Every structure is written in structure tokens, then in C-alpha cells.
Structure 1
């Protein structure tokens, strides 16, 4: 898979000396609630609906006195020798941040602050966005080689506590890099708020049926029955929002054959929505890549049946995909 095959653009880059396995953290200007909120809003606006490129800085930070011989610090410093100056991964972040303490626990949070925080505020990387989808960049290429000297300096030659927005030419340079999907540990934690919102929401029974048919037990293999129910309802909740946007835009028609129910029902008491199905385009990959709005399409029943037949055929021909 190439970067250009991702369903959304890479909108910004994060630069830090430590790689992010399950979260990317940012340090607010101070410990106040207002500073945290500003930091959260800024980062969320910078990555928008796109992906974040992870760059590992050429320099490695100095820990606070007393940690120079810390085992974890020495291990991380040795790891950095092999990845400094390189493009490591591409992540999709959960838009709703979680306090770092909630993600890693009080003991680990205290250790990080003891080691890295400056001054009285113990807030290093305290505004954290869980990684809900992640791809390793094959070969971990040098940022200078990918972007050229001018692009590299524009992005990384200056310090920043936030993200670094990418230009179109920089996205183009990334486009041909090969990436490998990797498992994400914090995806479930990151989705808890959305599970709760889905539970509170009214969802059209037809949407629930459509999504339930698409997200079979095979697609959700490895999850408990309770988790499957939550995943299906969240997907239906997202699909309901997708249909609502299509209705507001006046585009309730089949995405394949362009069938428009309004052209046939006339004055009859039939809703256009009742003649269309919501289709989940990537059900088999849900176990590692939770549903997004971009995963849905509107199809007439005939096109929907065809999609499922094609999916069954492709799955039998390429069982490992």
C-alpha cells in the first residue's frame, strides 16, 4: 500500500524525539484549563480529518537531573540513534483528546513528568490524542531525502509545540512511499465517547439492519458479543449521520447506478430513504480499522446485492487480504 492510497490526505506532521506507539502528546503553554483547551483546539484544527506524519527529530532531549542513568532513558536514547531524522509512521488521531494521565495511568504519568517536565507545571505531553489507525513507513526514509533540503527546513528546522501543516508538494512527495498497517492498542479506549454517544442516539431501524447485515460475525471476529454490539451500533450511528448529510444535500441516490427514488415515487407516500441501503464498503477490515464516515455509500438494493456478491468472490480468491 502507498501513502497516496489512504482514504484521506496527510495534513500535518508531528516532530518529537520519542516515537508514539499508542498516542501523540502535546504540551500546553501552562497548566490552566484554558491553555489545555487552546492546545487541544489548535491540534484538532491542524490535522482535521486527515492523517499525521510522524518525524523523529535528529536531536534527543536531555532528561531532568537524576535520570541520566535511567534504564528506560538509555533504551530510548539507543533506539533514537537508528531513527533520528527519519519519517517513522503515519497515524490517524482520535479528534477528542484524552488527558495523558487517563491513557497511561497515574504512575507512568508521574514518571514521565519527573523525567521530562520543566518548572513547576507537570504537563509535558499532557494533551494527548490516541492513535486509532497507524501505518509504518517502510524503510523509515530520511526526511531530507523525501522532502529535499528546502522542504525539510520549512517543516522541521524550527521548534514547535504543535503540528506542522503540510503543503501539496510535500504530500505529493510522500505519496509514493510504501506503508504497512500495524495494530493499534488504544483504538477501543479512543472510541468510548463515541460508543456512549451512539447508545444515546435514535437510529433509523433500517440503518441498523443495513449495517448489521454488512458487519457480520466474520467481519468482527476476535471481539466479544458485547464489543460486537457496540461496534455495530457505533457504525450505524455514523451511517445515520452520513445519510443525514446526503438528505440535506439533496443527494439521496444510488452511488453506483445513480438510481434516484424521487424520480419514481411521485406523490406516493414513500420516503426516498426507504428505497436505498447504507453500504459499509470495508467490513472485513473493521477489526483493525474502525468505521469512518468515508466507509459508507448509498446503494439501491440491486447494487447492494452485487457489492456483496463481489466481496464474497474477492474474499474467496484472496483469502489473506
Structure 2
């Protein structure tokens, strides 16, 4: 895609930030301004200000600069970044201890949701026609925005190809809600290991699929070749969209089940019957499900 397909006007650019290299995390970090121990609130304003501006002007351009940047990257326009309103301690956004130590010199950060490589990583002077690198003045510890220079940079980049970096992503479960949020503890706060295959022993109540299939076929036949929910009237040609509900739960005990003991329901009505019943052995009657769902839709 092209740069101007993502940023269609220079007004969407909050400015530029000098960086020593390409992104390794979904955040943009800031170095200390003054004494962090004595004036932590002053320092955190760097992150807050950037996050606040991002709510209206979300995009930022990173350019190689600063004492630690290599000669290869110095003055090169590296990436387009989409900044969120979420900010906090850099260490709270990083789970890897080695990376946390590496980033300790930049203790405040704002989260990113998108990172794009600017193809060719053009040089400000040699490739984009800037007379010098003054656009980076005061862009080392904060974001710098000179409106005239930013407009010129956008014009120079607007037709260039950019490539989304899907290897750089926010923390699992992160949702950008478009609000200013200070994260005061490790993010995300909860994780759970899932997906492992395990074997369980269990007792199942026996069900007979033949009578369930027969009930569905009867429902289809009675409704002109379509399945219809007896609770809400939803209809579809696919049998998979419907459940066969036992009016008297089979968990009560063994019995001879007839077609009259069953109802064809959509999954919502089926769940409604069991969730709204007196208890797990007394589901809500289908007529009552129909009445409640109808009243719910009219509210």
C-alpha cells in the first residue's frame, strides 16, 4: 500500500521522533527529562502528552537519530507508527526481562497498534530533498512537530510504498478504546495458558440421535422445506443452525422419549430456556421463552 492510503493528510501526523533503530516492540519510549526520582510526574508528562495528542492525531514518523544510532540509519525515515492513548512505565509493557533491562534508559512509553516500514528507508537529505536534518531538533526525548516541515515530509512520502509489520503487535488482548489511559501495573494483568491437549474420564447421559433427526425433519416438513425455531420463529435452510431441545431434561433420568417431548429451537432460545428456568432440571417452557424474547425485542 502507499503512505497516503494510511495517512491521507499531513494533519494526521503528530510529528517525528528520533530513534536509534527499527521497532522491536509495539511501543514508542521516551528517555528521562530531568531527575526521574525527584520529579516523576514531570517525566511522565512526556508519555501523557504524546498519548493525548494521539487521540486526535495518531500517526508518528520515526527517523534515525541520536547518539546511539548507526551511521547506516542516521537520517533515514524508518517507520510510520500509529500511537494510542495508552501510556505508562515502559517496563510494565514488557514481559521479557532481558528486553526490560535493555529499555531501562527509556522509562516511559506509549503503546502502538500499527507499525509500517517505509520501503527503502529514504534519507532525509539525499533522497527526500531536505536541506538538513533540522526536522529532528528537540525530537530526541519527545515528539517534534514543525507544521511546515511535517507538511513537506508528508508530501515527500505520500506516494511511497509502506509495508505493515505484523511481527510487531500490542500485548495479547489489547483493545484501543480511543481514550487516554495510564497503565499503572503490568500489562496485560492476566494471562492463562490454553490449548494443551488433555484426556478426561467422564460419564455422559445417553442421547439417541435418530429421534432428534426425526424431530428436525418433521419441523422442516411442517414449514415448507425450512427449519423454524419454535421459540422465536427464526428460520433457515441449514439444520446446523438449530438444536433439538428436551422439554423435560434427560438429566432427570431414563425414559422413553417421543417426538412430543422435543422442540426445535435456535441456539439462543435453547440457552434462554435453560438459563431462565427455575433450576437446571426445570427449563422455561417454550411458550414462555417465546413471550419473553418477544418482550425483550420490543424494549
TM-score (norm 2): 0.48
Q: Please say which structure displays the higher CA radius of gyration.
A: 2
Q: Where is the helix percentage greater, Structure 1 or Structure 2?
A: 1
